[in-house]
Every structure is written in C-alpha cells, then in structure tokens.
A and B are shown apart, each in its own frame.
Chain A
Amino acid sequence: MTADSDALRDAFDNAPCGYVITTPDGEILAVNETLASWLGRDHDALIGTPFTRLLTAGGRIHYETHFAPMLLASGGLSGVAVDLVAAGGLRLPVLLTANVKSDAEGRPLLVRIVADDAADRRSYERELLAERRRAEEERGRAVSFAETLQRSLLPPSLSPPPGLEAAAHYYSPSAGEVGGDFYDLFPLSRERYGFFLGDVCGKGVAAATLTSLTRYTLRAAAVGDDHPVGVLHTLDSVLKQDSHAGRGWFCTVLFGVINRGANGFDVDLATGGHPPPLLLRADGSAEYVSTDGGQAVGLFATPTFSSTRIALSPGDTLLAYSDGFTEARTGAGSRYDDDGELLRFAAAHSPTDAGGIVTAMRTLIEDLGTGVEDDAATLALSVPEKR
C-alpha cells in the first residue's frame, strides 16, 4: 500500500497537468509541483492564497462573474480558457476543468481544478479569431459595395407629372447581393412621362450589369419612340446584340408611357413577359390589366409584346410589382399567388392611393417573412381624388 500511496502522490505532484484543490471560496488548499513550477513560484507560498490571484485582472473578472457561479450552481465546469500569471509576469494560457466535492446535503466542500497547458491551442485560436475578424470586415465591405451598387440602379426619387402620385419600394432578402429587380419613373417631355418595372435574369454583378444596360436602353429608346412596344423591341435588339456575345441575357419588363387625359391620365402599357399590373379603381374594385401575349425580352427570335391603354381617373391606382411577391413561398410547395391571393389582397385595399398600397405591399413582405426568397419591387401610380 505504501508503494501505491507514493505512486499516487507522485501522480498528483508530477502529472503532465496542473492540479489545484481549493475551498468552495477558492482558497488554495493544495497545488501540485507541475503547476508550481509552471508558475515559477514556491509551492508552499501558494497555499492559503486565493486561486483567482493566479489569473490576470481581466480573467479574474470573467472568472468571478461567470465561472465561479457556474461552478457553484452546477458542480462542474470544463473548457475554460484563462491566462495564469507566472512569477515575472509571464502569461501561461491554460484550459481549466473543475468539479466540486459536495457533502450529503449538496453543500460544496472542495473544488478540484485541473489546468492543461493550452499555449498551442490558444495561439491557433488567436489566428482563427484574427481570420474571422478579417472575414467579417471583408463581408462588411462587400455588403456596403452591393448596397451602393443596388442604390445606383434604383432612382433616388420618383418624378411623376404634376397631378399624379407615385410610390415605390424595393426589398432584397439577402444583404450583400445585388438583386435583379428595377424600376423608374421619369419625364420624357413636358407632357409625357415614362415608367418601367422589370426583373433581369440572374443575380449579383452580372445582373447589375444587365440592369444598368436595360435601364439606360429603355430611357434612351423612349425619348424618340412614342410606342411602348417599339421601346421593348429596341431593348430586345440590344439584349440580343449582347446575347450574340454569348451572355444569354433576358429580362421581363413592364413599360408605360403616361399622357394627360380628359379626366386624369392615359397610360399606354407594353409588357414583355412580366406579371400583369393591377388596377385598383376608385369604386373599390380591383382587376388585372390584361397583357396577354407578351414574351420575355431578349429570349425569342421574333418576340411579340402586347400593349394596352388604360385611363387612370381620380381615385384610381395602378400597381406594378415583380414576381418576388407572387412567388413567395407560403408553405411546402405552395406560393403566395397560387390561388389568386394577390388580386384578393388588392381588392381588400381598394380604393387606395400610391402611398397606401406601397405601404400595404411593404407590410405584405413583412408578413411573408422568409418566404420572400427573391427580391421584390413594387411601383404604384395614383390620381388623387378631386376636392
């Protein structure tokens, strides 16, 4: 037995890790030779001192506010990373594991602490931490770049003709990614105004390039072309020029020209494969503006684009939107507009005005939550009621 006791004593004193036994209050009752030599301190001088005195000041606060209560409340603790301070101020990174010896009533009697040398692991962790900080900074830069780019693709403000109200909203489900939806409203002459809302294929930098090309082509083509369908054909040709370069670019777009009418405004609309806009009438009704036959722009050899003319009278609201709304996921395999929900939504809000329906569409995005997987854009025009 003597030999066994000696062996146990030796295993305690010369173990390849530090051993400390403290009172529940943290006063050191025993410490092994390994730890005393790591600390460069006299073994006997450590007895009776608080264990936390071996820690750095910052580590001591952390220990007192987190680890000590965790240990007392639960009876055990592992994987605590602290620095011990050796004689001369040298820091020893260690990982602590501890458990509590309790009496029959659960009152703590002793705390057993094991300290493992963690110098290698901690320097590895520090490198990982630095790497993560760098990655977070990079990501922050990428997000801010994408947001700036996205802003540059949307008009800073809408310019409706006098007597017409306009509102728009753009939502992107993923920060740091440039979406494919775009819109604008701009004067073509003193009397004529143009607007569009569309969705280019793809995402990211390629989509941003295509959006930029599409926007400027539409604005330029509209200056000299009175017919919205003609404007879409110009865009189709331009996109195909680039298609020949092997890019395979296309988009869906709703394009309109606004003229002052007898009682409000006349809107000439052409669509290329875009979901039809909604008309919310002053009488509280809501209907789709028929746009049969329009095909996506840039995709077909001889595309057909449909056009129609509507009259916007006082109290009427025209609502254009992208498929980010209609295609929002509402359950396993179901989409928001599978059963005509958007029309019911519009009818429930009619009559309204541009600001009102865009606010409602924003709320809809919030309600759909993570179901909105693609970016979602909406643009509304309304003629105020005469007073």
Chain B
Amino acid sequence: MNVLARNNVTFAGLKSGTTVMLAHGFGCDQNLWRLVAARLADQFRLVLFDHVGSGLSDPHAWDAERYSSLHGYADDILDIVEELDLTDVVFVGHSVAAMMGVLAVAEDPSRFAKLVLLTPSPCYLDHDGYTGGFSRADIDELLESMESNYLGWSRAMAPKVMGTPDRPELEDELTESFCRNDPAKAQVFARTTFLSDNRADLPRVGIPSRVVECLHDTLAPRSVGAYTHEHIAGSDLVTINATGHCPQLSAPDETAAAIAAFAAPA
C-alpha cells in the first residue's frame, strides 16, 4: 500500500524547516486550504492530503468499517507522518480533522510539536449538561439533505459550482472536482463526524495547542470553542472575526496569521 497515493499527499511551501500539516474537515478536500496555504508557503514546509473517501484519495482504499471511526482517519495521519518520517509536526485540523489530530497526537506524541484546532467541536450532539448544538434528528436531516443533493444516478442533478468570469484564476479542474465526494462515502463520513464524541480525548493532548474559532459559527459555536480550550491543558484560544465554519475561505488572512504565529519556532 502506498500511503502517499492513498491519501493524495501533496507538498507546498519550503523544502525544509517547520512542517505544517493541513488536514481538511468533512465536506471538501485539501483544496479548501488553497488561500491559507498560499499565505503560509513562504514560512513553512506544508504537507496537505485528502482523507480516504474525499478528494483525490485512492477510491480502492475505502473501507466503510475503518472509516466509521475517527481512529481510522487518525491512523492514516500517523501512517503519513511515519511514511515521510516527519517529526516536530505542527498539525492543523479543520473541523472534524481537529479531533483526528487530538487522537493522532494522543496515540503518538513523539511525532508532533504543536496542535492547531480550527473551528473544532469534540461533540456535535447535545448531551446532558453539554451543548453541542445539534440533536440526533438534526443529523438525520443532514443525511437526508445530502441524499437529496446527490441522487446518485445523475451527476447532472447534483449541485455544481458555476464558473464566473470575474474569478479566472479558478481552474476548471478545481471547479469540476471541488467538494465532489462520493455520496456513499460522504454519508459514512458524515455519520462518523457528527455522531462521534471525543470530549474524553481532549485531556489526552499533551503538546502545546491552540484553538481557533470564528465569532459566528453555527456548527462550532463559541461555547464549544471555550469547552475545547478549557479541556486541553495549556491551550490558548483565538477568536477570528469571521462568520461561518470555513474561515480558510472567508477570512484567509486572519486564519493564516493565527496558524503562523503559533506554528513559528519560538
């Protein structure tokens, strides 16, 4: 098995120096980091990849059972750092990938120097005394929404991005493939993402960590950002003045700055 092909591992930025590994969350692929990667490229060695089941990962590597647990994705991350023999990695996980980072760091802290959790949520469901923001019925509604947007038999009926004349820099290929993941695999990823509860894993993080949240994020509200920060000992919390769950696109400057300031060697 070729780990680098399996996860479509790509490199950007410097050839040496501090390694920053950028992990995408549920919904898209490594292209989501495009604007942020461009802003980090002159300071860091960047490693990007697609989770199995997303983007240009190897479709044959898909295993519904392995990827029904965030541990499966975390093991893939450890495979990549071992394959590349990376040490002192600054791992940046967006959304659910933040929890993959928590699991990977807890599993093998020797590979990682720092952890950045971008718009994380250790648990999306409400539990007694904890407000994740969503109910089981909401998640079922999400799965239904995904299904009605990907009526497998016709690609033509799936939502598509439209080319716009005022954005010529966007290549056709990206327009064609962006956020287009196999619907059956995306359903499994959605369940894994939104039904996992990693609250008990947060205290297992033993390396310097930074939580980066958005001012207005309905998926990961500020109370969840605060919870994550409070349960990772020694972490700090940065709040970006942005709306939505993907500040890499809506606030690329602030997002890149929050990562760079933390990742840069002291």
Binding site for B on A (CB under 8 A): 24-27, 50, 52, 56-62, 64-83, 99-100, 102, 106, 122, 125-126, 128-129, 132
Interface segment, one of B72-80, B83-91, B239-247: B239-247
Given contacts A26-B243, A67-B159, A79-B160, contact A106 B148 (CB under 8 A): no
Which of B138, B159, B164, B217 neighbours the largest number of chain A CB atoms within 10 Å of its CB? B159
25 CB-based A-B contacts, threshold 8 Å: A25-B216, A25-B242, A25-B244, A25-B250, A56-B138, A57-B135, A61-B138, A61-B194, A64-B219, A64-B244, A64-B246, A65-B95, A66-B28, A68-B245, A69-B32, A69-B249, A73-B174, A74-B175, A75-B162, A75-B170, A79-B158, A79-B159, A80-B149, A81-B159, A106-B166
Whether, in the assembled complex, B178 has its beta carbon less than 8 Å from a beta carbon of chain A, the answer is yes
Contact A69 B179 (CB under 8 A): yes
Find residues 163-184 in chain B having any chain A CB closer than 8 Å to their own CB: 163-164, 166-167, 169-170, 174-175, 178-179
Interface residue total, chain B, C-beta cutoff 8 A: 53
Name the contact of B146 in the complex, choosing from A62, A74, A76 (C-beta under 8 A).
A62
Residue B42 CB within 8 A of the other chain: no
Q: Are A72 and B159 in contact (CB under 8 A)?
A: no
Smallest Cβ-Cβ distance to A118: which chain B residue: B148
Asked if B262 is at the interface (CB within 8 A of a chain A CB), the reply is no
Give per-residue flags for B122-164: 1 if the beta carbon is below 8 A from chain A beta carbons, else 0. Answer: 0000000000001100111111111111011100011111111
* Residues of B with C-beta under 8 A to A62: 142, 145-146, 149
Q: How far is the CB of B56 from chain A (nearest CB, A)?
A: 16
Q: CB-CB < 8 A to B217: which residues of A?
A: 64
- Is B31 positioned at the interface, with any CB of A under 8 Å from its CB? yes
- Whether B145 pairs with A59 at a CB distance below 8 angstroms is yes
In contact, B219 and A74 (Cβ under 8 angstroms):
no
CB distance from B235 to the nearest CB of A (A): 24
B25 at the interface (CB under 8 A from A): yes
List of B residues within 8 angstroms of A57 by Cβ = 134-135, 138, 141-142
Cβ–Cβ < 8 Å partners of B153 in chain A? 128, 132
Q: Which residues of B contact A (CB under 8 A)?
A: 25-28, 31-32, 34, 95, 134-135, 138-149, 151-153, 157-164, 166-167, 169-170, 174-175, 178-179, 194, 216-219, 242-246, 249-250
Across-interface contacts of A56 in B (CB, < 8 A): 138, 141, 145
Q: Which residues of B contact A68 (CB under 8 A)?
A: 244-246, 249-250
**Beta-carbon contact of B170 and A74 below 8 Å:** yes
Contact (Cβ within 8 A) A58 B249? no
Judge whether A59 and B141 touch: CB under 8 Å: yes
Which of B27, B148, B175 interacts with A65 by CB under 8 Å?
B27
User: A129 and B151 in contact (CB under 8 A), knowing A25-B243, A74-B161?
Assistant: yes
Interchain CA distance A118-B117 in the complex, whole Å: 38
Nearest CB of B to A273, in Å: 39
**Shortest Cβ gap from B108 to chain A (Å):** 28
Q: Which of B27, B32, B145, B246 gathers the greatest number of chain A CB atoms within 10 Å? A: B145
Q: Lowest 9 A-B CB distances belong to which pairs?
A: A58-B141, A76-B162, A65-B27, A25-B243, A75-B164, A74-B161, A58-B142, A57-B138, A72-B249
Assess whether B159 is in contact with A78, with CB atoms less than 8 Å apart.
yes
Q: With A and B bound together, what is the CA distance between A129 and B158 in angstroms? A: 14
Q: What is the CA–CA distance of A69 and B153 in the complex, to the nearest angstrom?
A: 24
CB distance from A64 to the nearest CB of B (A): 4
Contact A60 B218 (CB under 8 A): yes
Q: How far is the CA of A203 from the CA of B179 in the complex (A)?
A: 42
Contacting pair B161 A79 (CB below 8 A): no
Given contacts A68-B245, A75-B164, A79-B157, contact A61 B151 (CB under 8 A): no
Does the CB pair B243–A77 fall under 8 Å?
no
Nearest CB of A to B265, in Å:
31
* Cβ B26 vs Cβ A65 within 8 A: yes
Closest-by-CB residue of A relative to B139 is A58
> Do B166 and A102 have beta carbons less than 8 Å apart?
yes
For A76, the chain B residues whose CB sits under 8 A away are 161-164
Is B216 in contact with A69, judged by CB distance below 8 angstroms? no
B245 touches A70 (CB 8 A): no
B219's partner among A61, A67, A80, A83 (CB-CB below 8 A) is A61
Of A25, A58, A126, A128, the contact of B140 (CB 8 Å cutoff) = A58
Residue on A nearest B26 in the bound complex, by CB: A65
Pairwise interchain contact A27-B243, C-beta atoms closer than 8 A: yes
Minimum Cβ distance to chain B for residue A60 (Å)? 6
A128–B152 CA distance with the chains assembled, in angstroms: 11
Cα–Cα, bound, A24→B142 (Å)? 23
Given A61-B145, A64-B219, 16 additional A-B pairs, CB 8 A: A61-B142, A62-B145, A66-B27, A70-B159, A73-B170, A74-B167, A74-B170, A76-B161, A76-B164, A77-B162, A79-B158, A80-B159, A81-B159, A99-B162, A125-B151, A132-B152
